[in-house]
A and B are shown apart, each in its own frame.
Chain A
Amino acid sequence: MRSFLLFLMILVPAISPVIGQYAMPLKAGLLVEQISLPTFQDYGSRLGHGFTLGTNFTYKEKVKSALLQTADFHIIYHEEYGTSFMLSSLFDYSIRPGKLNMDIKLGPGYMLFNHYTSLYSQGDDGYEEASRLQGKFVGLISLSCSYTIGSIRPYLAYTTYFETPFINTYSTLLPHQMVELGAYFTLHSK
């Protein structure tokens, strides 16, 4: 929980300029996820699913490119593995030839992971049942494209991310891939 607060201390200043903007860019999307390497291989045909809400802050904007920072919240439900409540904040380099945006993003995240199976911690009289919520760090790389149509900008994003810890003696990292489909729109403060 302390690491989660630390993450918020980093994230909030990063997105705070956005709060004060007159027009707040928002995005909302649905996603499918899979525990896998970045590949099209079949991993038993099971997909997790969930949704994303997010915003971004523009550091620098040119005619055909921009440098942004995102702040996204994902809820991802994966049957027989668990549910992730993930906050991420990625550096976003955006190329903008006309109405088309192509973005490459990279950055850290933090998830509160609700395990499907039980967790235990060492107590005075042996192992005791612990909360199934476990804090995990995440590293994400994402590619997305979007196209402006009137006041909204539909997007398609592909993200691969690694969570840690996983199982200490086998692999401390667990890879996922995720595809998002949604839209950007602008929330006006008035």
Chain B
Amino acid sequence: MTKLFSNLSILILVSLMVACTQETIPAPEALLCESDYQNHPNHAAYEQALQQYVSNSSAPGSVIGVKKYQEQEWVGAYGASNLEHQTNMEVCTPFRTGSVTKIFTAVIVMQLYDEGKINLSSTVAAVLPSISNDIPNSASMTVQQLLNHTSGLRQPTDDDINYQLTVINNPDYIGSLDARKRLEQYIYDEPLKHNPGEDSYYSNAGYWLLQLMIEQITGKTLQQNVEERIVEPLGLTNTYLEKRTDTDVSRGYNFSGQLLKDVTIWDRADSDGDPSAGIISTAADLLLFGEAIFKGNLVSDTSLALMKTTTSFPSCNGDCGYGLGIESWDTGQNLGYGKNGSSIGVDANLIFFPEQNTTIVIFSNFGGGNDKSVIDVLLGVE
């Protein structure tokens, strides 16, 4: 019996040693953010709005950017981007943008539409015949429906507990799946939420299919398309889709009980490299991107009008708010167009307000809900 307890003691000791295994968070490199935002004429008012936004939030840090058309942009940062190393949030700190990525993917599709290389009424079966048998109703599911969330495809991130728990159980596995493998694993042969075009159901999976379409039509990866069609023409300096080890990207946080938990490992697994959620960018880059879209510098006026046209179904009590890759954003006082991206640990927003000719970017490294009333405050600054 003594030997048994001795063996058990060794087992317990080994287990306690293993229990010390912890994530090593590499220290960020020192970001050099050259800017003269403090000389912006509205610096004081915007800075005050940023302070108010952060004080109303549980986020360790935030970045806000504002750009009025043909005027110099303003970007402000507050708090910490990486609590492990107590790294200050900087105006050039990159963020995971979550579903803001859908605008990038949609812009490329609309550019292909402008070039006559794809029709919005083309079906999945016609564009991707090799997988037509794997997607229910692929013969009646159109490119437009994939873009505006009316295809009826599921949303594994929200409605598939198998997917959600796999992100927690094995983030390495989920992170290793590209769009095609995610489709195989979570979409193929799965029943649709509704018949294509008959209702609205938000789905990242539509954008997984759009990536396959873009790559088939252009013969280039989605990442190459993002670089050649958006990043290089606009001169964006820190925007990318591919998976990188980038220690400067803001960490993501959420509450577990009363404690704030670093949840970056799950955000990275779920979104990095993904055509619906994988773009990493800075506020300044997104301001340029947003203004370029809504001023018609990336797509034709016809395409822009189509992108801004939102769907309407009884299930949404009228306006569902989703256009092609973008959504309408009604603050109650102001109407804008853009996209919110929410992940477990990050909240990102890119919104253009036509009446004020103003683009706003809001980043927060807290995924537990953030007050958006700061938008009206920012728009009210003269």
Main DSSP-derived SS at the A contact region: strand
- Asked whether, in the complex, the Cβ of A44 is within 8 Å of the Cβ of B15, the reply is no
User: Closest chain A residue to B254 by CB distance?
Assistant: A167
- Residue-wise, chain A 83-95 has the 8 Å CB interface mask toward B (1 for contact) of 1010000000000
- Residue-wise, chain B 6-20 has the 8 Å CB interface mask toward A (1 for contact) of 001001100110111
Q: Max chain A CB contacts within 10 Å: which of B161, B255, B259?
A: B259
- Residue-wise, chain A 36-62 has the 8 Å CB interface mask toward B (1 for contact) of 110001011110001101000000000
Q: Given A51-B15, A168-B368, A170-B254, verify A120-B260 contact (CB < 8 Å).
A: yes
The answer, among B8, B22, B172, B344, for a CB contact under 8 Å with A116, is B22
Q: Given A28-B8, A43-B165, A126-B60, verify A117-B263 contact (CB < 8 Å).
A: yes
Instruction: Tell me which residues from 92 to 144 in chain A have a Cβ below 8 Å from any Cβ of chain B.
Output: 114-122, 126-127, 129-130, 132, 134, 136
Interface size counted on chain B using CB atoms at 8 A: 47
Residues of chain A contacted by B261 (CB below 8 angstroms): 115, 117-120, 167
Which stretch in A9-17, A72-80, A153-161 binds the other chain? Answer: A72-80
- Asked whether, in the complex, the Cβ of A44 is within 8 Å of the Cβ of B259, the reply is no
The answer, among A43, A51, A83, A130, for a CB contact under 8 Å with B166, is A43
The answer, among A116, A136, A169, A175, for a CB contact under 8 Å with B369, is A169
- Residue-wise, chain B 239-264 has the 8 Å CB interface mask toward A (1 for contact) of 00000000000000111111111111
- Residue-wise, chain B 53-84 has the 8 Å CB interface mask toward A (1 for contact) of 00000001000000000000000000110011
- Residue-wise, chain B 260-293 has the 8 Å CB interface mask toward A (1 for contact) of 1111110000000000000000000000000000
Residues of chain B contacted by A36 (CB below 8 angstroms): 165, 169
The answer, among A81, A129, A168, for a CB contact under 8 Å with B255, is A168
How far, in whole Å, are A12 and B169 apart by their CA atoms in the complex? 33
- Asked whether, in the complex, the Cβ of B260 is within 8 Å of the Cβ of A117, the reply is no
- Asked whether, in the complex, the Cβ of A75 is within 8 Å of the Cβ of B8, the reply is no
A127: shortest Cβ distance to chain B, in Å? 5
How far, in whole Å, are A78 and B170 apart by their CA atoms in the complex? 10
Q: Given A53-B8, A119-B261, A169-B255, verify A129-B344 contact (CB < 8 Å).
A: no
B264: shortest Cβ distance to chain A, in Å? 8
Q: Given A117-B263, A121-B259, A126-B80, verify A44-B18 contact (CB < 8 Å).
A: no
How far, in whole Å, are A56 and B78 apart by their CA atoms in the complex? 55
The interface size bin for chain A is: 35 or more
- Asked whether, in the complex, the Cβ of A45 is within 8 Å of the Cβ of B173, the reply is yes
Q: Max chain A CB contacts within 10 Å: which of B23, B84, B261, B369?
A: B261
- Asked whether, in the complex, the Cβ of B170 is within 8 Å of the Cβ of A46, the reply is yes
Residues of chain A contacted by B8 (CB below 8 angstroms): 28, 53
Residues of chain B contacted by A118 (CB below 8 angstroms): 22-23, 25, 83-84, 261-262
Residues of chain B contacted by A46 (CB below 8 angstroms): 169-170, 172-173
Residues of chain A contacted by B323 (CB below 8 angstroms): none
- Asked whether, in the complex, the Cβ of A134 is within 8 Å of the Cβ of B259, the reply is yes
Residues of chain B contacted by A170 (CB below 8 angstroms): 254, 344
Taking the complex as formed, is B21 at the interface, i.e. its CB lies under 8 A from any CB of chain A?
A: yes
How far, in whole Å, are A53 and B259 apart by their CA atoms in the complex? 30
- Asked whether, in the complex, the Cβ of B169 is within 8 Å of the Cβ of A117, the reply is no
User: Closest chain B residue to A46 by CB distance?
Assistant: B170
B266: shortest Cβ distance to chain A, in Å? 9
7 smallest A-B Cβ distances: which pairs?
Answer: A44-B170, A44-B173, A83-B19, A46-B170, A35-B169, A165-B257, A169-B368
Given contacts A117-B261, A126-B60, 4 further A-B contacts (CB under 8 A): A44-B166, A117-B23, A119-B262, A127-B80
